[in-house]
Amino acid sequence: MANPCMRPGQPAGESTGPMRILIADDHALFRKGLMLLLGRLYPDAEIVEAGDADQAMARLDEGAPPDLVLLDLSMPGMAGVSGVTRFTQKAPEVPVVMLSAHSDPEEILKAINLGARGYILKSSSEEVLKHATSLILSGEIYMPSSVLGTINATAGKPLPEALAHLPHDNPLRSLTARQRDTLALLVQGQSNKEIARNLGLLESTVKAHVKVILQKLNATNRTQAAMIAADLGWPRDYLSR
């Protein structure tokens, strides 16, 4: 069984220090409560705190890079959802997660498109927090289940007819609209940087989408993913539809 406190991607038996988590929130009581919860989930993790966005940015320069950053959406210095770019640009390989009391689908989608790896509601239970952090640390993106349906219904192109008629258990049907756009350009042989430029995303966001696509298609690399997608009925002219 994997050690929950081991750094993501750390080989078994290799000691590189405990997981490091940065929590930034201007409400001290909430921040302390979240630290206690994460301390129970990851007992050996080093948890660092900050009270505003500027302090959180400074924390990124102290010690080893964090394995997870949790940011209050409305704390001083964030400037709303757009504040996530300060952190994703400074530390593009670090999963940045937004914390908020609001579940506006447009706000959540904007945060993900700006590079956030997750969006956790402050009303979430400890079990939801555990599920969300586990997904994010494994390279996936987490969004509240209560708004997934709304997001998928409004996030870009509808399911094209060529996919809508596929069997319901076909993995291509499980891709979100943004993942379908990413796959379409991946099939064309574009790099993550090219896909990011064409879709108006951060390269780190594209990397996260590609990782999920590989998992959903049970592929080990991009070439295999393109071949599997073709075998499953992927329409090569998807983006022109």
DSSP 21: E
Of residues 216 and 16, more confidence is placed in 216
Judged on CB neighbours under 10 Å (0-12, 13-18, 19+), 61 is exposed
Do the Cβ atoms of 97 and 136 come closer than 8 Å?
A: yes
Q: How confident is the model at residue 69 (pLDDT cuts 50, 70, 90)?
A: very high
Q: How confident is the model at residue 14 (pLDDT cuts 50, 70, 90)?
A: very low
Percent of the chain with pLDDT over 70: 85
- Of the candidates 104, 144, 20, the residue with the CA atom closest to the CA atom of residue 70: 20
Confidence at residue 9, expressed as pLDDT on a 0 to 100 scale: 45
| Residue type at 3 in one-letter notation | N
Q: Mind listing the pLDDT tens digit for each residue in 20-56?
A: 999 999 999 999 999 999 999 999 999 999 999 999 9
Which domains does the chain possess? 20-150 (3.40.50.2300), 161-240 (1.10.10.10)
Average pLDDT over residues 185-189: 92
| Residue type at 80 in one-letter notation | G
The residues, ordered by sequence, that sit 6+ positions from 232 with a Cβ below 8 Å of its Cβ are 166, 170, 171, 172, 217
Judged on CB neighbours under 10 Å (0-12, 13-18, 19+), 74 is middle
- Of the candidates 184, 236, 227, the residue with the CA atom closest to the CA atom of residue 206: 184
What beta strand segments (E) does 4-100 contain? 20-24, 46-50, 68-72, 96-100
Residue 72 sits at φ, ψ, to 5 deg, of: -70, 130
First-to-last CA distance in the chain? 46
Determine how β-strand 46-50 pairs with β-strand 68-72.
Answer: unpaired
- Of the candidates 9, 219, 183, the residue with the CA atom closest to the CA atom of residue 93: 9
